[in-house]
Chains A and B, each alone.
Chain A
């Protein structure tokens, strides 16, 4: 394990760690925009620059491996000045519309601008203008807010294995493109949305539904496949308005299109809201009392006439353990038959 000092503090770093990783392990903060702990280093945003004794110029800590005896300084007037300049350059080509941005309050760029107190911009000038909207139903791509950190490109390639997007063009015209600049047509996992540090990538269905400060977050487990991804429901009023996942979970924060964007059934207007009984071939709304009476009477009647084995219960792989346990107990103990199953085979 190489030993190095960061801001005078001695740090033991694992072999192969970067200076940034070593610093974060030692709880020393270095600002970053393009770095993501689960993706390969990029060195694109230049915010993570540090001074290393013996190296004449500042280096990006996210791409510099630690070595024995290294002496690192993460903050100095010169470094902070450079960082501020980098931020001003990024912000010079970023729309100033935090007031209406979905990510306000949950935006790394906004945080950085605040931290460095950037009010006026000495680089103000030409801006990139992208008017074309991507027609896909899931992901809003607002390229004017893109800071070219490349996280979306990396996550799509390294985590999802899809490579739906990449850097296109050069210089001021550079942007994140799909092949032939068509509308996005990928797996729509939204991994890119989850790693975007600004409002460039958001869920289309999140629009105007409430920002981070407006919602209550509830951690739960996804209701689709058996992977059991840990998800966080963002709730405003009585509506689930967004789904995200935390990075320190079983699924490492990654989700699929169903888990991330398939939540609208919860507040669907099609939901059943009243007990129904069929009378003369048509459903009529009834009270719970009436429905319970009807079920208890009918099941008791059938059991008396044909025996308990004439009744069967199908439980649900969508329901909780507790409900399933209670259901089979009801069928076995209250009805008196082992005719109970669920859709494991289907």
Chain B
């Protein structure tokens, strides 16, 4: 998100879900859309049925490949080489949009130079994708002016996550596939309100509305709005707070509705860090693995028990409505926060959730025009600066906030950890269709548990033959950080040398073994590549 914001101006999906159906080309990279965003996949299938060509780049043969014109099964962590080679072909074959480049971009020559060496032949060696497929993808994507790029954590959860996004954005800039309907660079957000939590300023370097905490002017604005002196220091991200807790620099954590024991990399390390805290509060709807380590646990409400808004992946602010009463003494998160803030000496006085949204709109003009009344029937997409504004389905219609967009030069870097003699397989992690994130919700749905309640590791038929493994065998998968035991699932959806484990299962938590190496800019961990060994 940070990298997307740095390039274009906003860290969000540039276009809308509805526009997908009129795209000519859909380039999916690092997104298992059919399982993680099934209803967006429905739109893509609709486009497919109207004649759209779909390109899928993924280390696994994900279900969307069934609808693909071109499948690029690359080795995990080699995205930059693949994308740069596609850029190389687009430039070489003159498929770029010269007018767009001349008028709206800068740094084309440098970028051109940076991908000059990255021929399809060179990329084939690194990525394992055939040069023909790379050339075909370049021609399909570069040949369209109604082409959209879609990605998720498959390209961001790497030590080079920022660079991966930069490389993908280069393709859109190169072909002018941005700033118009049915185009764009579209990160699909994995959680219901991850867009909203980011918008609302739950980020250590940004106030609400992506306004920098280290800018004196911005700070002054928020100090005035909130009537309080604010810290001028950038804070720590989740992935930095955990090591800081281990180092004794963070003494207390207040965790609302998160389960880092399951969702953070290198889980043993996370547990050790949380145990070291002097004080931990967890506010949640279930006794999660993280809550079990807390000093105080507060029962809160789920989405069906409160009023408010969520912002979806396409920047649409939508209503959440109370349908049932919370169980027992559980209280809404907002009322808990207000009470604690008050006791800490700063009074938050909101009569209703809408009051909060209205205040949010005062400090961030992009949502100033959104009221509950206006989104009664249908949500509105920000930017929506005033109450007569209809919202913005796609961004940059009238140019970019910075005037021109800059191409990025993206050198290829190897993943932080590669397969070697001792750990000869590459593990990549993700979700499956049935379970969700740490599983605290879906694993309590008996029907889902009945169908998809068991942890498993996907292994290719070739590797399983080599290691004499059959479906259902119990395997120990180990990395330098830990080991888990789970059942083998032999499937050709993973490539030889790669294995896949879904992240949801606490009894065999993939994040016990994942690498906590971080991307330098975004501090995102490299969940998608780590070296492991397989034992029976």
A interface residue numbers (CB < 8 A to B): 136-138, 158-161, 187-189, 204-205, 216, 218-230, 233, 235, 238-240, 249-252, 254-259, 261-268, 270-278, 283, 288, 291-296, 298-300, 302, 305-306, 308-346
Q: Say if the beta carbon of B271 comes within 8 Å of chain A.
A: no
For residue A291, which residues in chain B have a CB less than 8 angstroms away from its CB?
A: 296, 298
Check B308 against A320 for contact (C-beta < 8 Å): yes
A324 touches B200 (CB 8 A): yes
The listed residue with most B CB atoms (<10 A of its CB), out of A187, A291, A330, A344, is A344
Stretch at the interface among B109-117, B166-174, B345-353, B401-409: B345-353
Q: Which of B39, B198, B356, B444 contacts A270 (CB 8 A)?
A: B444
CA distance A233 to B188 in the complex (A): 25
| Residue among B204, B207, B233 with max Cβ neighbours from chain A (10 Å) | B204
Q: Which of B213, B254, B320, B339 lies in contact with A313, CB distance below 8 A?
A: B254
Q: Are A273 and B356 in contact (CB under 8 A)?
A: no
Interface: B436 (CB within 8 A)? yes
Of the candidate stretches B69-77, B327-335, B463-471, the one touching chain A is B327-335
Whether A220 lies near B251 (C-beta < 8 A) is no
Measured in the bound complex, the distance between the Cα atoms of B192 and A338 in whole Å is 24
Minimal Cβ-Cβ distance residue in B for A308: B231
Which chain B residues numbered 210 to 267 have a C-beta less than 8 Å away from chain A?
A: 213, 222, 226, 228, 230-231, 233-239, 241, 244-245, 249-258, 260, 263-264
The complex places the Cα of A105 from the Cα of B120 at a distance, in Å, of 61
In the complex, the answer to whether B448 meets A262 with C-beta atoms within 8 Å is yes
A75 to B238, CA, bound (A): 66
Say yes or no: A315 contacts B36, CB within 8 Å: no
Q: Which residues does chain B contribute within 8 Å of A320, judged by CB atoms?
A: 193, 196, 303, 306, 308-310, 320, 333-334, 353
Contact across chains for A322 and B237 when beta carbons are under 8 A apart: no
Chain B residues with a Cβ closer than 8 Å to the other chain, count: 150
CB-defined contacts of B341 to chain A, threshold 8 Å: 326, 329-330, 333-334
Q: Return chain B residues, CB-CB under 8 Å to A218.
A: 304, 321-323
Residues from chain A with Cβ under 8 Å of B263 in the complex: 343, 346
Q: B85-93, B175-183, B280-288, B416-424: which lies at the A interface?
A: B280-288
> A339 with B45: in contact, given A220-B320, A222-B192, A312-B254 (CB under 8 Å)?
no
Of B42, B156, B193, B444, the contact of A268 (CB 8 Å cutoff): B444
Q: Are B193 and A319 in contact (CB under 8 A)?
A: yes
Interface positions of B from 355 to 376, Cβ below 8 Å from A: 356-357, 359-360
Nearest Cβ in chain B — how far from A330, in angstroms?
4
**Chain B residue contacts of A277, Cβ below 8 A:** 295-296
Question: Considering the complex of A and B, which 7 residue pairs feature the smallest CB-CB distances, nearest first?
Answer: A273-B328, A228-B312, A316-B257, A320-B308, A338-B235, A226-B189, A272-B299
Q: Would B433 and A187 count as touching, CB distance under 8 A?
A: yes
In the complex, the answer to whether B230 meets A333 with C-beta atoms within 8 Å is: yes
Q: How far is the CB of B108 from chain A (nearest CB, A)?
A: 31
A192 to B42, CA, bound (A): 14
Produce 1/0 per residue, B366-398, CB < 8 A to A. Answer: 000000000000110000000000000000000
Once bound together, how far apart are the Cα atoms of A322 and B372, in whole Å?
12
A264 to B251, CA, bound (A): 36
Residue of A nearest to B16 (CB): A250
Are the C-beta atoms of B296 and A227 separated by less than 8 Å?
no
Contacts of B344 in A (CB 8 A): 296, 299-300, 330, 334-335
Contact A160 B42 (CB under 8 A): yes
- Once the chains are docked, how many angstroms separate the CA of A319 from the CA of B251? 25
Chain B residues contacting A344 (CB-CB under 8 Å) are 1, 194, 197-198, 203
A318 touches B191 (CB 8 A): yes
Identify the closest chain A residue to B310 (Cβ): A221
Q: Which residue among A251, A337, A343 has the maximum number of chain B CB atoms within 10 Å of its CB? A: A343
Given A262-B442, A345-B523, decide whether A273 and B312 contact each other with a Cβ distance below 8 A.
no
Residues of chain B at the chain A interface (Cβ within 8 Å): 1, 17-18, 34, 36-42, 45-46, 48-49, 66-67, 156-157, 188-205, 207-208, 213, 222, 226, 228, 230-231, 233-239, 241, 244-245, 249-258, 260, 263-264, 278-279, 281, 284-287, 291, 294-300, 302-306, 308-314, 316-325, 327-334, 337-341, 343-346, 348, 350, 353-354, 356-357, 359-360, 378-379, 433-434, 436, 440-442, 444-448, 450-451, 522-525, 527
Task: Contact check, B338 vs A262: say whether CB atoms are below 8 A apart.
Answer: no
Q: List 13 A-B contacts (CB under 8 A).
A: A161-B66, A189-B38, A205-B447, A256-B433, A263-B445, A265-B442, A268-B286, A271-B285, A313-B253, A320-B196, A320-B303, A326-B348, A344-B203
User: Is the Cβ of A226 less than 8 Å from the Cβ of B324?
Assistant: no
Chain B residue with Cβ nearest A38: B46
Cβ of B328 and Cβ of A274 under 8 Å apart? yes
Residue from the set A273, A295, A337 with the largest chain B CB neighbour count within 10 Å:
A295
Contact pick for B319, options A221, A255, A264, A345, CB 8 Å: A221
* Pair A161/B256 contact, Cβ less than 8 Å: no
Distance in Å: Cβ of A139 to nearest Cβ of chain B: 10
Partner of A188 from B201, B278, B302, B451 at Cβ < 8 Å: B451
Of all chain A residues, the one with the shortest Cβ separation from B347 is A334
- The residue in B40, B279, B323 that gathers the most chain A C-beta atoms within 10 A of its C-beta is B323
In the bound assembly, the distance between CA atoms of A300 and B251 in angstroms comes to: 12
* Chain A residues within an 8 Å CB radius of B445: 261-265
Q: Give 7 new A-B contacts, CB below 8 A, not counting A225-B190, A316-B333.
A: A264-B445, A288-B331, A298-B252, A314-B258, A333-B230, A340-B235, A346-B527
Inter-chain CA distance A306–B244, complex, in Å, is 13
Instruction: Kindly list chain B residues whose C-beta atoms are within 8 Å of the C-beta of A222.
Output: 192
Asked if residues A220 and B441 are in contact (CB atoms below 8 Å), the reply is: no
CA of A306 to CA of B150, assembled, Å: 44
